[in-house]
Structure 1
Amino acid sequence: MTRRSSGGLKKTLVLHRFSIGPRRLIGFVGVALLAMGLLLFSNLQNLIGAEAPKGPPPPPKAVFEDGSPWRAVDLEEALKRASETVPLVKEVVKETPVERKRRLGDAFPKLTDLTIDYMVLKSPMIEAEENHYGYVRFMHKKHAVVVGDCTVCHHYRPKDPAAKETTRCSACHQKAFQAGMPERPGLKAAYHLQCVGCHMERDKGPVGCTECHAKNVPDHSTLVKLPPHPEPMDVTKECLRCHAKAGEDMLASTHWLLRGPSPYTEGHEKDVSLGKAAKTVNNFCIALPSNWPRCTSCHAGYGWKDANFDFTDRTRIDCLVCHDATGTYAKIPTGAGMPYKELDLRKIAQNVGRPTRKNCGDCHFSGGGGDAVKHGDMNSILYYPSRNCDVHMGGMDFQCVDCHKTRNHKISGRSTSVPVVEGSHSCETCHTAQPHGDASNVLNHHLNRHTEHVACVTCHSPIYAKCKATKVFWDWSKAGDKKRKPKKDKYGMPDYSWQKGEFIWKESAKPEYYWYNGKVRRYVLGDRFEPNGPVKLTEPVGDIQDPQAKIYAFKVMRGRQPADAQRNVIAVPHLFGEGGYWKTLDWKKSIENGMKAAGLAYSGTFKWVDTVMYWGLNHEITPKNRALSCVQCHESLRQEPYCGRCHQNTASIDFKALAYRGIDFQQLYYAGRDTLELLNVTDYIGFQSLGYKGDPIVYGGRFKQLPLGQGPSLPKNP
């Protein structure tokens, strides 16, 4: 570089062949300083464990994994059938039930004649008159099994000899006050008289409107009065203008308080303030205190950024996070529950509806800081899953609230991972304790006996994370190495983060099986643990001698996290924000800050301890043809005489086919799932680890032996 001057000419810098004047030099310096500032800001964002918000993410696409358009095939077929209008049956055969049975003899309708398992009760005739409630999901086959007599519902047959013996309800019952048939109730009345009447008579089943139907949400486009670009709290105020009672209900709900009653946590049955906001801990992001802005990004409220959040302020309730029907609403991941500023909140408020999988999944599918991290059976695939991934959501388009019924903003459901319970729901709620159809069928008979000892998910969810890999191990002690480059595993998932440590992921994983009676032993912050062995943060209660316990399937999450070295209590680290580990990389200081925020004493020294959490698996239910087969658990059925140990051979039953009917892990492997190690696995649930001597078919059950007693011993590897 040389300097030259010429009389009164301005001085210039010559760099190689380019000349730059002073003004241009100032401009270049300004740009350089701006670039340096942006670089520093970017590094700062990385240091505190989050990137600067880039705007709300796009809604998930309604496509299958292969990119083809998504369809809920079972629901689609049921809706198509429900929309059909059939000719009115004007005359029916007038006869008593006894006369009908005598007339039909052996031709009397049987369960084996039934061809439609799943229906929806919906009709254009009803909707033409009023449409305040949604359709009813109707388990046709299940009702036929429970009632045991098809003619209880199909109480008359058409007089036309060519008609079927049992015809659909809408063939006889159509419009109310049908001309010439004043004695016949309309279709809507017929449904309610038959269904509600039977439920009341048997004292079983739902009888309230919203117990069967979802209430349709009215069009809010003209009801909501908001200016352009309102603040989030202004939206809530507008909601409260009509829904004041809902606001009061929300203030007492778990999704608002993140704590509540824990009747199924052993030793804390009468506690009414246990939860994420108070004393619970996990081996993912560990605990809430001191990490509020990051952890509360999924809170159903606005601005919970520290311990001083006002839980009595109704204007802080976030109505849109649960009721947005546009699919566009999103919260800033590090914003203490605040939404992205780019969102059109007025438009969203004018388009609200019943909560969908998108509303629930935006938080619950991404617990633990990312997609599929926490839950082994919930991930973003469930926005639009295949039927094989989840038969309820993929086949019938179930929304979360179809099972997790809500009353006064209290949501039913229980989890081993969190203590709060606002109402229970289980498979038996819909499928009953005898879910396997006609008990005269030999296989159904045995499967129904299994339900006394084996939970539904144990057979009907034989693998978890079947559609997307989940995290199964997290080692916080390895965090802090910025030079270590993360590697992708065979699922494309990273094995390391300098902020969080080392990970192991698993897809199509075999669950671990334990006895579970519905109660949980739970580590509560401040409890002292025994220093020998891993600390069990949650553990199912039950054993083989407990008649209330069943064999359940679990994802077992294993981790390594900090603890007070002298007091033997799990530590609460301050991770996010000023003074947090992601900014200082100082574990000692971050634990001091976190323990102070949690109100816990700290000795000043820490150690690393192994921890375990048991996560119940209740989603990703497979179709029945992909449940565990008999031979995958019962080794004694893998060879002749198969079921002949107890059953006499008969030409009408192929016992080998029955024993082998179920999930084919080889087929799943060829389809791209990680099931190679599960091929030819026997004793799938591990009978001896559950307290049995071995296969119960050979050695007897937990409370009684089979009538034929102990059979011959089996070779080790047949």
Structure 2
Amino acid sequence: MKTSRRARLTLAMLCAAVIIIAAVILPDLAVTAPEQGKPLGPVEKIRTPRNPRPEDWQAPDHAAALERAKAPREFVAKVKSEDPKLRQIRFKNLGLGVGDIKYSYMILDSPLVNTFENLYGPARFMHSKHAASLGGDCALCHHASPEGSDAGIDRLSETVACRTCHQESFNPAHPERIGLKAAYHQQCMGCHEEMNKGPIDCVGCHAKRVPDHKDLVRLPDDPTPMEVTQECLRCHQKAGEDMIKSAHWLWKGPSPYTVERQKKVMSGKATDTLNNFCIALPSNWPRCTSCHAGYGWKDETFDFTDMTRVDCLVCHDATDSYHKSPPAAGMPAPEVDLKFVAENVGKTNRNTCGNCHFQGGGGDAVKHADMCAVLRYPERNCDVHMGGYDFTCTDCHAAANHKIRGRSTSLPVAEGSRTCEDCHTSKPHYGDSMLDFHLNKHTDAVACNTCHSPVYSKCKATKTWWDWSEAGDKSREPVKDKYGMEDYNWMKGSFEWKEAKKPVYAWYNGYMERLLLGDVIAPEAMGFAPGDSLSAEERRSLPVTNITAPVGSIRDPSSKIFPFKLMDGIQPADAKHNYLLVPHLYPTSPDDKSAYWKNLDWQKAFVDGMKAAGLPYSGEYAWVRTNMYWGIKHEVMPKEMALSCVQCHESLKGEKTCDRCHQDRRDVDFKKLTVSGTDFGKMLSQGRDVAELVGVTDYIDFKALGYKSDPILSGGRFTKLPLGRTEP
């Protein structure tokens, strides 16, 4: 008994010692990836959501539209008998138009349309957009009026909702009337077909509902990731074939919007792109590919033709319990219950997309100035589409055959374009007032987000400066800034962060200049040598190499003033070959002798990093300053918070405003038009870091964009005046 007790005591002490040693060395070992394929032993499976929806969260505009859609309407038994053309003229004479629309956003949904089947979700309907595109001709859609209604007394009494006349199908009392579902489809699809504009297929307007997979999936209790994919492919073989041809799988593809590279068909993160965050993929695969929609991309030998390596669940998880292990080359975390997730798949959502896209650059809001985890359940003022209308990512970035519409300024790959104008048209201000006319003239030269996203990262601070030259000091203690963000990490260097930052504005025609791996940079931009001591001011004054930059000009009619996040930083370059270097950062195994995060030796890191990139390293390096332009396309603010006239046009600050050109009218308050807009004072009171923007005019800096002065005074880009054409 004594011996047994002593043995147990010795074992306990040994275990304690192991735990203490692990606690001491764990921070340094945390950057070493476990060997792929090694069993980790039994792990308790977790099914709980990682980002549960707050109980009090709702998208108010969407919720109100749903409530209106389901509200009962009194059935109209009798309608006026009226010639369509005479009705059209009568409405025009009454002045009925876009300005009379009570609700701009609607949802076409009702229990009446789901009586026999419910295979598709409701359709979003932009009432104002459709009315404006039809020239404000209300009679084209509202083709009948209730008997006894009089628009001369009640302007909206004759333009009633479809479901006041069209309700149940096959109503024996009114056999001449089609049901509500048929009425929607006849009216909408008929118009789209006649005008040769707009979708005429089901999924063009509706999201197809995903069937319950609990009785469809055939998996063992603890399947491997590849077994899950094989089960998906049993029914979705075509989807797998499409996926392995997509940019989300290949991380490369055509680059039609990169100047001088339009014929490159395999440009992207997997091959030749760089950034001034984590720099580049080659040699760092296991860490970077934790956001790849696949399993096991740990080195250059990954087989992109193997469909069983596709990760279906990372995009189609509807439980919010699925996640990947950051250092495991895209493999799911051991605690994920793969069978449970596979039985509960659904359409993509903000969580599934955001798990990768919100975390770009190694953390929340690091890379993208306009995307962060707040967008999972945002306030309306943070992003009106997601927070007001409950948009998912694919409401804008529609997919076809697993190719996603939309393109980034940071990467060359494009599988289709998506712009604000696709939904809002090139004349998005739908009223018929003088202000609407002027705002619509602005869209020829000003991008929508220039006015509607006056600041970026207003929901969470983003990284704006990254200096790799200062990495490696384990003794340096990080200091948290006013946003609670740390200014240093020994593995990565020094940082700066900013919340609610004013964008940099530039002319942009949709094309980008792009520095790729191996591209030579200017000799005068080579910066400083290792060991040189430069002050912060000296680093900021170094010549800049643009990794990405927008293409455009004040003289180019296709260019518009566009908002960008300008990412600034210091990164390594080959001192002899004059191109940017790729360091091997992440240790791929316990025996890795060259990874910087394990050995803190830049020379070894550059040798192996450049070998993986397929480029020679001279053995000498320097530190250079680089910039990247990141387009601001999300975090769109509500229209009432867009920039006002006077916030850009300083000339409107005086007594004379719009009436310098227009006769004063009693029904137009010119002064009010110039002072409404983005209320930075209110944003400041709500805790946003915008003190320096309160009271600012000439917000976008017209002279920096090539104008002589305020265009109100000096004229627009191509304006022809009586004495000749104005010169920018």
TM-score scaled by structure 1?
0.92
Matched, 1:675 2:659: no
Summarize the Cα distance change of 1:37–1:441 in structure 2 as closer, same or farther, 3 Å threshold. same
User: Could you tell me how far apart the structure 2 residues matched to 1:49 and 1:335 are?
Assistant: 6
After the TM superposition, which residues 449-460 of structure 1 pair with which residues of structure 2 at under 5 Å, given as runs? 449-460=441-452
* Offset at residue 639 of structure 1 (A): 1.2
Matched to 1:83, the amino acid is K
Matched, 1:157 2:157: no
* CA deviation profile, 1:18-47 (whole Å, cap 9, x unmatched): xxx965773464135313442355143245
Matched to 1:487, the amino acid is V
User: Could you tell me how far apart the structure 1 residues matched to 2:316 and 2:219 are?
Assistant: 17
User: Could you tell me how far apart the structure 2 residues matched to 1:28 and 1:145 are?
Assistant: 77
- 3-state DSSP of counterpart to 2:14: helix
User: Could you tell me how far apart the structure 2 residues matched to 1:135 and 1:25 are?
Assistant: 66
Summarize the Cα distance change of 1:429–1:78 in structure 2 as closer, same or farther, 3 Å threshold. same
* CA deviation profile, 1:412-466 (whole Å, cap 9, x unmatched): 001100110001110000000000012x301100000000000000000000001
TM-score scaled by structure 2?
0.91
User: Could you tell me how far apart the structure 1 residues matched to 2:725 and 2:667 are?
Assistant: 27
Residue range with higher mean Cα deviation, 612-621 or 650-659:
650-659
User: Could you tell me how far apart the structure 1 residues matched to 2:12 and 2:500 are?
Assistant: 55
Do the aligned residues in 1 keep the contact of 2:33 with 2:328 (CA within 8 Å)?
no
Corresponding residue number in structure 1 for 2:37? none
Do the aligned residues in 2 keep the contact of 1:699 with 1:710 (CA within 8 Å)?
no
Summarize the Cα distance change of 1:314–1:86 in structure 2 as closer, same or farther, 3 Å threshold. same
* CA deviation profile, 1:522-581 (whole Å, cap 9, x unmatched): 001011111332111000000101111100000000110011011110000000012210
User: Could you tell me how far apart the structure 2 residues matched to 1:317 and 1:586 are?
Assistant: 35
Matched, 1:563 2:566: no
User: Could you tell me how far apart the structure 2 residues matched to 1:81 and 1:419 are?
Assistant: 43
Matched to 1:569, the amino acid is Y
Corresponding residue number in structure 1 for 2:53? 62
User: Could you tell me how far apart the structure 2 residues matched to 1:102 and 1:594 are?
Assistant: 72
Do the aligned residues in 1 keep the contact of 2:210 with 2:346 (CA within 8 Å)?
yes
* Offset at residue 206 of structure 1 (A): 2.1
Bigger CA radius of gyration: 1
- 3-state DSSP of counterpart to 2:466: strand
Corresponding residue number in structure 2 for 1:433? 426
Summarize the Cα distance change of 1:506–1:290 in structure 2 as closer, same or farther, 3 Å threshold. same
Matched to 2:56, the amino acid is P
User: Could you tell me how far apart the structure 2 residues matched to 1:708 and 1:649 are?
Assistant: 26
User: Could you tell me how far apart the structure 2 residues matched to 1:351 and 1:22 are?
Assistant: 52
Matched, 1:346 2:339: yes
After the TM superposition, which residues 9-20 of structure 1 pair with which residues of structure 2 at under 5 Å, given as runs? none
Corresponding residue number in structure 2 for 1:15? none
* CA deviation profile, 1:237-275 (whole Å, cap 9, x unmatched): 000000000000001000000000110011111111000
- 3-state DSSP of counterpart to 1:430: helix
- 3-state DSSP of counterpart to 1:82: helix
User: Could you tell me how far apart the structure 2 residues matched to 1:23 and 1:108 are?
Assistant: 95
Matched, 1:390 2:383: yes
Corresponding residue number in structure 2 for 1:716? none
Which ranges of structure 1 fall in alignment gaps of 5 or more residues? 1-9, 12-20, 712-718
Residue range with higher mean Cα deviation, 200-209 or 647-656:
200-209
Corresponding residue number in structure 2 for 1:630? 645
* Offset at residue 104 of structure 1 (A): 6.0
Corresponding residue number in structure 1 for 2:10? 26
After the TM superposition, which residues 75-86 of structure 1 pair with which residues of structure 2 at under 5 Å, given as runs? 75-86=62-73
Corresponding residue number in structure 2 for 1:698? 713
Match of 1:42 among 20, 26, 49: 26
Summarize the Cα distance change of 1:105–1:256 in structure 2 as closer, same or farther, 3 Å threshold. closer
User: Could you tell me how far apart the structure 2 residues matched to 1:604 and 1:529 are?
Assistant: 17
Aligned-residue CA RMSD (Å) = 2.2
Do the aligned residues in 2 keep the contact of 1:469 with 1:491 (CA within 8 Å)?
yes
* CA deviation profile, 1:174-219 (whole Å, cap 9, x unmatched): 2222213333222122112211221222222222221211111111
Matched to 1:649, the amino acid is D
Do the aligned residues in 2 keep the contact of 1:562 with 1:607 (CA within 8 Å)?
yes
* CA deviation profile, 1:219-243 (whole Å, cap 9, x unmatched): 1110011110111111000000000
User: Could you tell me how far apart the structure 2 residues matched to 1:54 and 1:624 are?
Assistant: 48
Summarize the Cα distance change of 1:273–1:644 in structure 2 as closer, same or farther, 3 Å threshold. same
- 3-state DSSP of counterpart to 1:230: coil
Matched, 1:572 2:617: no
Corresponding residue number in structure 1 for 2:536? none
Do the aligned residues in 1 keep the contact of 2:44 with 2:335 (CA within 8 Å)?
no
> Kindly, what percent of the aligned residue pairs are identical?
56
Corresponding residue number in structure 1 for 2:159? 166
After the TM superposition, which residues 566-645 of structure 1 pair with which residues of structure 2 at under 5 Å, given as runs? 566-577=576-587, 578=592, 579-645=594-660
User: Could you tell me how far apart the structure 1 residues matched to 2:45 and 2:565 are?
Assistant: 34
- 3-state DSSP of counterpart to 2:523: coil
Residue range with higher mean Cα deviation, 347-356 or 204-213:
204-213
Do the aligned residues in 2 keep the contact of 1:274 with 1:419 (CA within 8 Å)?
yes
Summarize the Cα distance change of 1:54–1:599 in structure 2 as closer, same or farther, 3 Å threshold. farther
Do the aligned residues in 2 keep the contact of 1:49 with 1:582 (CA within 8 Å)?
no
Match of 1:657 among 669, 672, 678: 672
* Offset at residue 89 of structure 1 (A): 1.6
* Offset at residue 114 of structure 1 (A): 1.5
